[in-house]
C-alpha cells in the first residue's frame, strides 16, 4: 500500500521472486474503506500480510 494523505494505492503480490504483482487501484484513506478492502481480499482464503 502506498499511503498518502487522502488516497491509498493498492497492489497485491504473490510470494517468491517470480510471483505475480497486480495493481488493484486506489481507495480513500479511511478505516471503513480499508476494512472493506481486507474483507474483499480475505475472501480468497489466502493469508494476508501488509507491509508499510
pLDDT tens-digit map of 1-49: 556 678 888 998 888 889 899 999 999 999 999 999 999 988 888 888 8
The DSSP symbol for 43 reads T
Q: Is the pTM of this model over 0.75?
A: no
State residue 51's pLDDT score.
75
Give the number of domains in the chain: 1
Q: Where are the beta strands (DSSP E) in the chain?
A: 2-3, 7-13, 21-28
Expressed as residue numbers, the domain containing 11 is 2-42
Asked if residue 35 belongs to a domain, the reply is yes
State residue 4's pLDDT score.
63
For the sheet with 2-3, list strands across it. 2-3, 7-13, 21-28
Asked if residue 47 belongs to a domain, the reply is no
CA distance 44 to 31: 21
State residue 1's pLDDT score.
59
State residue 49's pLDDT score.
82
Amino acid at each position: 500500500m502506498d499511503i498518502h494523505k487522502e488516497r491509498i494505492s493498492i497492489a497485491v503480490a504473490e510470494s517468491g521472486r517470480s510471483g505475480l504483482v497486480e495493481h488493484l487501484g486506489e481507495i480513500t484513506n479511511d478505516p471503513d474503506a480499508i476494512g472493506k478492502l481486507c474483507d474483499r481480499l480475505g475472501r480468497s482464503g489466502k493469508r494476508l500480510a501488509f507491509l508499510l
